[in-house]
Structure 1
Amino acid sequence: MVAGLKKQQSAFTRSRDIADGAVRASYIIANELVQASKPFSDGELVKTCMLKAAEVVCPEKRPAFANISLTRNTVADRVTELSSDLSSQMKEKIKSFIAFSIAIDESTDVTDIAQLAIFIRGVDETLTITEELLELVPMNDTTTADDIFSSLVGALDKVGVDWSRAVSLATDGAPSMVGRKAGVATKFRDKDLTPNIDALVKAKRCQVSGASSSK
């Protein structure tokens, strides 16, 4: 009886490990599809190819590959969960910044829609520097300084930045960005809560992500 129970437990553990492995594999493949800018529906093609290969290379392992769910809906769910996890990690990292800077660039994509790229670079107490593309915001209507600044504030507030730790803003130098009276740089400076902000925040003109060549 004891031997039979142990055999059942071993079979259950093995089955659970196979199921867990199939789930992990679906996350890995979903991430690869996104990295390659492939449609979610390509997951089914990937699975078909895996099964064909398994039949030739390791027929005994085919059932394990068959357990990997790569339907369009599953891939979409995996990508959503991965995105949520990355967002949570980024928020936690940003909370640790003792100082950060922002770089923004507004340019038009191939569909003639203006896109605002927002980059954040920060340093924590261990002097570890982190630089990430925070968000790519579509500007569907106008691209005035107010529109750009509103999108910038929305993106930064979404991740919970401490505005008092902002030290610089880099832009592509467009008039709406650097205007002294109502430019994004001026609005950014006014938004910051640091008392000596005029000494800390510098509005810089630079080329961001090939901005000059894209306009």
Structure 2
Amino acid sequence: MDDHSRAAADAAELLEGVLARSLDTLRAAPAAADAWAAKAGPLEWTCWETGEHLADDLFAYAAQLAEPAGEFGTEVPFRWSAERAGGPANTVHADPSAGRDGMLRVLASCGALLASMVRTAPAERRAHHVFGATTPAGFALMGAVETLVHTDDLAAGLHLAWTPPEEACATVLAALFPDVPRTAAPWPTLLWATGRAPSPAAPAAPAGAGTTRRDPRRRPARSG
């Protein structure tokens, strides 16, 4: 196995581990979809909307990897729609009648699609991303960041305890946020780097925090 293939396999495994931890946490949430109407942490979206947005991120990353490298250089033109003014514009929406368990199935399916594409796309492929073409391993790590921070948002809104895997936090920090000072443990540093919390040694997030390697398709730093 060459270095690109090993990096992709490792990143896919990391993504799967983060998603499994997230789903285990969210299984303790209320079962009815209307219980997910609370705001998700610092976001202006509800917990239901945030879950849909996370699933949509994972799906969109998988879709980008499915295209031949360099053929288009743009996002795959799926139609996005928001279900209310100020809500996230998504391609993926979960059926509220399916409740929590339906949402978790949607998240698991979209995460599995991304992990599968990371493993099966040519490991050296570089697919379109607004911040620069990215490898399968890069998309997996970005999907892991989205899952880590949005699970934190969801846990806050749903009053759940969320303990992210520190090793995964350290790995994504090193890969995607190499210039962020390491003044705290990996998880609070990642929250700071994504604009969600102060660092003990740095009271404000760095310029551009929350946008580095973010989903290419919308929203200011603290909206997702």
Short-chain TM bin: under 0.3
TM-score w.r.t. length of structure 1? 0.25
- Which structure: greater strand fraction? 1
| TM-score for the superposition, normalised by structure 2 | 0.24
